[in-house]
């Protein structure tokens, strides 16, 4: 299946597949990026409890990163990866910690769900299996960010905290920032109980068209929530231009043959990765 659409290209190179955003490809002289495809690859570098993986599994993850980085002409040793825990913490990356190997599973990036840098050749990595990954790029200030926003991160408005930090630390203008939304679970499959629905209603009561965002699913008294639309709306309110918010439009559950999905795979689920790097 080809997942290409007006916003993304489905790329096949030898033994790997990945997505690239058409908008970011306009800047390929200064920027590289990719979102991995294929459930044969797994970008998990530690257990869910943040413990060390068995050596064979860790080597498989390293090989997955190597192949993906090679396909976009990057050196995998320049990788910096978050240790995501559904927080609203976004950190600035100034330099690598490990000089000859990727910055994986470092305590420095515990409780971290977003990374920002203006340094060249630092490959920012986040992972997902239904959660939203967002790639940010300011072509004027030449600043990039990579943010993981699951439903808890969305409730904490981590995307807004990313933008605020880009403004405060690098002088970015929201009107210049491009945001690309990677494949994730969509409203069609993000079904929640009343308790979670109430949290979203309370946090986002300032948004218009809340009935469009939160839809009751009869007759089982559950609700479907459009977390993508929430992030689009709050980013626009933060000053991003509507045309600069680029959505892949791809549901991880609908395409679980190509994209890891926690809701489909359950225990032992794999992870995809989103990468972004300044040349």
Residue 182 backbone dihedrals phi, psi, to 5 degrees: -75, 170
Is 71 in contact with 13 (CB distance < 8 Å)? Answer: yes
Per-residue pLDDT, 268: 84
Question: Has residue 46 got a pLDDT over 90?
Answer: no
Q: Is the pLDDT of residue 51 over 80?
A: no
pLDDT at 96 over 80: yes
Concatenate the DSSP letters of all residues of 194-251 into one string.
HHHHHHHHHHTTTSS-HHHHEEEETTTTEEEE-HHHHHHHHHHHTT--GGGEEE---B
Structure tokens, 221: 């008294």
3-state class (DSSP) for residue 128: strand
- Taking Cα atoms as reference points, which of 155, 157, 84, 156 lies closest to residue 124? 84
In contact, 265 and 256? CB cutoff 8 Å: yes
Contact 151, 196 (CB under 8 A): yes
**Quick check: 234 pLDDT over 80?**
yes
120 neighbors 29 (Cβ within 8 angstroms): no
* Predicted pLDDT of residue 219: 77
Q: How confident is the model at residue 223 (pLDDT cuts 50, 70, 90)?
A: very high
How buried is 235 (Cβ within 10 angstroms: 0-12 exposed, 13-18 middle, 19+ buried)?
Answer: buried
| Radius of gyration for the chain, computed over Cα atoms and rounded to the nearest angstrom | 18
d(Cα 77, Cα 67) in Å, to the nearest integer?
Answer: 12
Rounded to whole angstroms, how far apart are CA atoms 199 and 211?
14
For the chain, percent of residues with pLDDT exceeding 70: 100
The pLDDT of residue 92 is above 80: yes
What pLDDT shows up at residue 52? 80
Q: What residue segments make up the domains of the chain, in order of their start?
A: 8-185+245-278
Among 23-27, 38-42, 222-226, 270-274, the range scoring the smallest mean pLDDT is 38-42
Is residue 262 a contact partner of residue 225, using CB atoms and an 8 Å limit? no
For domain 8-185+245-278, say whether CATH 3.60.140.10 is its number: yes
Pairing mode of beta strands 79-81, 90-92: unpaired
- Which H or E run contains 126? strand 123-128
Mean pLDDT (the chain, rounded): 95
| Residue 242 pLDDT exceeds 90 | yes
pLDDT at 236: 98
Q: What span, in angstroms and rounded, lies between the C-alpha atoms of 162 and 92?
A: 10
The per-residue pLDDT for range 139-181, each reduced to its tens digit, is 999 999 999 999 999 999 999 999 999 999 999 999 999 999 9
- pLDDT(209) > 90: no
pLDDT at position 49, please?
72
Cα(22)–Cα(32) distance, integer angstroms: 12
For residue 222, the tally of other CB atoms under 10 A from its CB is 14
pLDDT band at 221 (very low <50, low <70, confident <90, very high): confident
Instruction: Please name the helix (run of DSSP H) or strand (run of DSSP E) that holds residue 158, with its range, or none.
Output: helix 158-170
Of the pLDDT bands very low, low, confident and very high (cuts 50, 70, 90), residue 248 is very high
């Amino acid at each position: 299946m080809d997942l290409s659409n007006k916003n993304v290209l489905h790329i096949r190179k030898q033994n790997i597949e990945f997505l690239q955003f058409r908008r970011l490809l306009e800047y390929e002289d200064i920027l590289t990026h990719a979102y991995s495809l294929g459930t044969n690859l797994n970008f998990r570098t530690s257990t869910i409890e943040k413990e060390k993986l068995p050596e064979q599994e860790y080597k498989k993850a390293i090989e997955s990163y190597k192949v993906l980085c090679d396909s976009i002409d990057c050196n995998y040793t320049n990788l910096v990866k978050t240790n995501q825990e559904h927080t609203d913490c976004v950190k600035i990356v100034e330099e690598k910690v490990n000089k000859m190997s990727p910055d994986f599973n470092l305590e420095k990036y515990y409780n971290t769900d977003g990374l920002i840098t203006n340094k060249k050749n630092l490959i920012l990595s986040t992972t997902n299996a239904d959660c939203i990954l967002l790639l940010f790029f300011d072509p004027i200030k030449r600043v990039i960010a990579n943010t993981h926003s699951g439903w808890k991160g969305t409730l904490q408005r981590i995307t807004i905290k990313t933008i605020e930090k880009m403004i405060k630390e690098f002088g970015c203008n929201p009107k210049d920032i491009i945001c690309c939304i990677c494949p994730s679970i969509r409203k069609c499959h993000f079904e929640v109980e009343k308790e979670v629905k109430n949290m979203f209603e309370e946090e986002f009561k300032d948004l218009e068209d809340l009935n469009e965002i939160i839809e009751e699913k009869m007759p089982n008294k559950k609700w479907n929530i459009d977390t993508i639309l929430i992030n689009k709306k709050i980013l626009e309110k933060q000053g991003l231009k509507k045309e600069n918010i680029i959505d892949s439009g791809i549901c991880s559950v609908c395409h679980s043959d190509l994209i890891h999905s926690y809701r489909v795979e359950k225990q032992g689920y794999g992870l995809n990765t989103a990468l972004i790097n300044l040349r």
